[in-house]
Amino acid sequence: MTSSELWTRATADRYDAEEAEASSAAVLGPTLAFLAELAGDGRALEFAIGTGRVGVPLRERGVPVVGIELSEHMAAVLRRKIDEYTLPVVIGDMATTVVPGEFTLVYLVYNTITNLLTQDEQVECFRNAARHLEPGGRFVIELGVPPLRFLPPGQVAVPFDVSEQHLGFDTFDLVEQILVSHHITRDGDDGRYRRDNSRHRYAWPAELDLMARIAGLELERRVADWDETPFTEGSAKHISVWRKPT
């Protein structure tokens, strides 16, 4: 077991509703096109597949997908959408769990590598990706750039969403490279609010490149989003692709 926090049944059951916008065809279209092109005629392995927000529609596009998921509750929600034969899912952590066969693509989206709270575990995640890739295969990560440039001296919190239904902000431990993501969400129409938080280990693009090198992977490209906008110093996130040498 890694340091990743386990998703509860209640969190899993409301996940799809809360991520409806991120699951829309408009948002997912570029993601699926990007991943399908890299997968080619081979198989894809999704680390932390969750409820299948990406894996299920990618499979529906004709890409054979296998998933690894730590939370049985999240996997149970996925199983309501698609059967085990069509999209197999192995319960386990993304840093050490091994599934049979080789893949042309391993991918890890939506900042999920930060669920591993130590550098060693994140390195092992890269090693695990390399272990599953066939020569020439790619490992893809979607990850936000740590927003530390928005932190004035002495401030430890950065808001990322302020709306009528939701307040979200991150607090930072700059020594341990840990952020805590805080969510205060309006729960129904009776004025009640639900408070949740989760811990993450943030990492810079250059740090991920070193992890990839340790795992025997080479950086192929880095873009700012799934539409392949060029990555610059002002980009809020990156999509990075590392290749296993032939």
Instruction: Give the CA radius of gyration of the chain.
Output: 18
pLDDT at 111: 95
Q: How many helices (H) and strands (E) does the chain have?
A: 6, 11
- Banded pLDDT at 43 (limits 50, 70, 90): very high
CB 15 within 8 A of CB 77: yes
Q: Which helix (H) or strand (E) holds 160?
A: strand 157-162
pLDDT at 19: 87
- Banded pLDDT at 96 (limits 50, 70, 90): very high
pLDDT at 17: 87
CA atoms of 217 and 244, how far apart (whole Å): 5
The answer to whether residue 179 scores a pLDDT higher than 70 is: yes
The structure's pTM equals 0.94
pLDDT at 245: 98
Q: Which of residues 18 and 86 earns the better pLDDT score?
A: 86
Q: Which of residues 154 and 12 earns the better pLDDT score?
A: 12
Instruction: Give the phi and the psi of residue 185 in degrees, each rounded to 5.
Output: -120, 130
Q: Which of 21-35, 97-111, 145-159 has the lowest mean pLDDT?
A: 145-159
pLDDT at 85: 97
pLDDT in tens, 126-146: 999 999 999 999 999 999 999
Q: What mean pLDDT is predicted for residues 225-239?
A: 97
pLDDT at 5: 85
The answer to whether residue 188 scores a pLDDT higher than 80 is: no
pLDDT at 2: 84
Q: Which of residues 185 and 136 earns the better pLDDT score?
A: 136
